Amino acid sequence: MKIRLSTVADISNIMSLIQDAKDYLALQKIDQWQNGYPNTLQVEKDILRGESYVLINDENNILATSMFTINQEPSYKIIDGNWIIDETIRYGVIHRMAVKKEFRKTGLASLLFDAFHQELKIKKIHSLKIDTHEDNISMQTLIRKMGYQYCGIIYTSYKAKRLAFEKVIF
């Protein structure tokens, strides 16, 4: 397994993973990602900014994807709760994580988290923040398993309520 930056040539495969995730959420009656987001344009923007990653196997097949950045997330400025490390101090952010349906619950998402944690350690950044839908218990379970603490509620740019979590990286 290897994690690399996504390329424009990966977009159709990434969108296939995202569609799998949308279908999975819909089956659970979770309205996250059910309104056209994330879409191809968003993924392309992530790629062009160097913030889209894929996890590939030895045959170069894309098994998972995620957006990861060290740029501030505007919707994290206001939180109904408290960040562990102040929002104004440099931090990492994860968004748009999806795993190919055949590989769910096999640890691939944890590999992405671990890689992003290592990247932050190298850059001496001590915080990684993430948010998820209040009904997305699978993601909340993973986030907590990875050592994240619940910090409060944020609202996305499109006014969707999300549970916010943070992990201090040493």
The reported pTM is 0.94
Q: At what angle do helices 137-145 and 108-122 cross, to 10 degrees?
A: 50
d(CA 170, CA 167) in angstroms, rounded, equals 10
pLDDT single digits (tens) 13-59: 999 999 999 999 999 999 999 988 899 999 999 999 999 999 999 99
Residue 137 has pLDDT above 90, yes or no: yes
* Mean pLDDT confidence for 133-151: 96
Q: Count of domains in the chain?
A: 1
Q: How far is CA 83 from CA 5, 31, 36, 48, 147, in A?
A: 28, 26, 29, 29, 15
**Which range marks the domain in which residue 48 is found?**
2-168
How does pLDDT run across 47-76, given as a tens digit for each residue?
A: 999 999 999 999 999 999 999 999 999 999
Residue percentage of the chain with pLDDT more than 70? 100
Q: What is the pLDDT of residue 87?
A: 78
Q: Any idea what the CATH number is for the domain that residue 157 is in?
A: 3.40.630.30
